[in-house]
Structure 1
Amino acid sequence: MELDLGAVRAFVAVADCQHFSEAADQLGLTQQAISKRIAKLEAGLGTTLFQRSRHGSDLTEDGTTFLPHARALIALADQATESVLGCARPLRVDVLETRLAATELIRAFHHAHAGVEVDIITSSGLRSGRGALVNGTIDVAFARVVGALDPSIEYIPAYLEPLHVLIGRKHPLATSRQIRLRDLTDSVARMPGNEPGSEWALFYDDLAEDFRLTIDTSGPDFGLDHLLDDIADSADSFIFTGERLRAPWHPEVVQIPIVEPIACYPHSMLWQRRNRHPALPRLIDYVAADFRPFDPEIHWLPPAELCSGRWGSTRESVTR
């Protein structure tokens, strides 16, 4: 049979996201369109590629066998396209959420390199970013790196973001100029709807364990604006936030930095080694030049970052 590249791309997206709805969002299609493409592919191959359940979609044995070949096919097709069109399109940058530090970093890069066109794409973090980098859907992702990466993906430290807290004026620590983590042991960090197993949830699991903190992930999550209203009415809860997060202003909520130590969230920049977008080397150099390394005297990082050895210095060279 002659493989339909659209169907193969849909297969790879579902395999990476493990949900048809998330794959549809990633590719800008409807869930029905994704389902039709997968059904067409399965019919052509004469096999079932996914085992569907209410928890998601897992690869069958045939699906697992087909996946690396599907990735290679998509990568080859994208390389062929990039050889002609690569210079004509924006650099596609994946971020977890537009309020976060990665967006501010890209915004500063764009101001410094006004001639570089950039498209900002939001996703579910590393879970979707891994596959999107490999199949060429995005050029760059910013995320905390946990677990194994595809051998074709390279990354460098991008930014150690100092944590702050958002705290209501009724809280006894609200008048503090700085807050130590050990001062928060009698309070509750609110993170409704936090995704178990995500790279950011694992970060806060380590933070809570090291400093005996309590994190409440119960939902539902109605968004940051509503959560700030809840914090404003509370005398014993708070929200962790990053130094660069653009939080909505609230008259009854204050933002206070964390010290002794300064807990830092580690943002990395990831890209595919074979990517030849002309703006990519400029972004790599910009991020590396702006990076400020980990200082064990004042900073805290989770064990995974300390063991990696990457956070003490910038990466001096990139093999292209």
Structure 2
Amino acid sequence: MDTEALRSFVRAAELGQLQQAAGELGVTQQAVSKRIAALERELEVRLFTRTARGVELTLDGQAFLPHARGVVAGVERAVTAVRPGFRALRVDVLGLRSAQAVVLHDYWRSHPEADLDVVTLRVNDPRVAAAAVAAGDVDASFRTVTDRAALPPGVRMIPAFDSPLELLVGPGHPLAAARTLTPPRLRKHRIWVPGIAPRSEWAEFYDQLTTDFDLRIDAAGPHFGDEVLLDTLADSPDVATLVGARDRYVWPVGHDLRRIPVVHPTWAYPLSLLLPETNPHPGLRGLLTHLTSLPALPGEVWRPSWATSPGLGGPRAVTTAPEGAERVR
């Protein structure tokens, strides 16, 4: 099987655009299309469907992707093993508009000499990401394995930073005019968070948040993407969602959406970093230093049990940090 065809397939799947994949691979879009077509003929299945925005994986393509990614990663490791010097630091994030990607971008802007490769494994189970770190497919991953006993041998997990949550609503929502919101004001409102995946860290996070604050979090329906979610919020007088303060969302001006911080306590989504216990990539040193420089959240902060206990979980905690305190939380 042609490894360059596999590489083209993997990058097209990750980027959703044949043209962008071609640009990264240094070939023409036609070459990428031919490689993928040859791969589909060899497998006797369709791997992609074309859309107005690019390409999307078929069910067969989704099943084939993790295996193809493993083959490509294995080839890259083999090449790296005999190539002088080190490859770029490869860090997994949940999405390119996520808080993790924003923090990585801030790090790169302050250290433009850093050789950084930001990737998205597109897996919901953090244990899969931990396995990718153990295998050397990625050098680090912004994921949290809430049961530390489930970490694979050779992988450690450290706190990275807290991402405070905000309520995102449309202009017709009854809370749209608020500058800040306390948890009691949210109890009777529908908070729609579609696509909460089983076994994911955020599923456990929202379970604990709902229980501790008696919230009405609705995870019904599939997640059709941020655009559909934002359109729904703009048109709805009663639907809201929760987003991270650092997460990047872009919507049309006419949507007039409002991001409202939650305070007293601030709801913090704690981000962790998975990395090897031994022989970490040399580029991790600078990233870890950057993470330790991030300011702690001021005032009262709520975190889930797995972020407030060093073991497998403990009581929920509301902590107070002084204004301007700087440490990794």
One of 288, 299, 322 as aligned partner of 1:284 = 288
Q: Does 2:286 correspond to 1:274?
A: no
1:9 matched to which residue of 2? none
Q: Does 2:65 correspond to 1:25?
A: yes
One of 172, 175, 179 as aligned partner of 2:177 = 175
- 1:229, CA displacement in angstroms? 1.3
Long gaps (5+) in structure 1? 1-18, 35-73, 316-320
TM-align CA RMSD: 3.1
SS in 2 for 1:235: coil
In structure 2, what is the Cα distance between the partners aligned to 1:181 and 1:223?
Answer: 27
* Gap change, CA 1:293 and 1:253, over 3 Å in 2: closer
Long gaps (5+) in structure 2? 1-58, 314-318
One of 99, 112, 115 as aligned partner of 1:114 = 112
- 1:307, CA displacement in angstroms? 1.6
Partners of 1:188 and 1:216 within 8 A in 2 = yes
SS in 2 for 1:144: coil
Give the counterpart letter for 1:136 in structure 2.
G
- 1:261, CA displacement in angstroms? 0.5
Give the counterpart letter for 2:269 in structure 1.
Y
- 1:109, CA displacement in angstroms? 1.3
Partners of 2:90 and 2:139 within 8 A in 1 = yes
In structure 1, what is the Cα distance between the partners aligned to 2:84 and 2:201?
Answer: 31
Q: Identity of aligned pairs, percent?
A: 33
1:259 matched to which residue of 2? 263
Give the counterpart letter for 2:139 in structure 1.
D
Partners of 2:139 and 2:275 within 8 A in 1 = yes
* Gap change, CA 1:206 and 1:21, over 3 Å in 2: farther
Kindly tell me the number of residue pairs found equivalent between the two proteins.
Answer: 252
* Gap change, CA 1:173 and 1:276, over 3 Å in 2: closer
In structure 2, what is the Cα distance between the partners aligned to 1:135 and 1:181?
Answer: 42
Deviation string 1:140-164 (CA, Å, 9 cap, x unpaired) is: 1002331121231122211111100
- 1:288, CA displacement in angstroms? 2.1
* Gap change, CA 1:279 and 1:86, over 3 Å in 2: farther
1:98 matched to which residue of 2? 96
- 1:302, CA displacement in angstroms? 0.8
In structure 2, what is the Cα distance between the partners aligned to 1:86 and 1:267?
Answer: 34
* Gap change, CA 1:102 and 1:265, over 3 Å in 2: same
One of 205, 221, 227 as aligned partner of 1:219 = 221
* Gap change, CA 1:29 and 1:20, over 3 Å in 2: farther
2:123 matched to which residue of 1? 124
TM value normalised by structure 2? 0.68
Give the counterpart letter for 1:124 in structure 2.
V
Partners of 2:144 and 2:274 within 8 A in 1 = no
1:14 matched to which residue of 2? none
- 1:293, CA displacement in angstroms? 4.2
- 1:286, CA displacement in angstroms? 1.9
1:61 matched to which residue of 2? none
1:139 matched to which residue of 2? 139
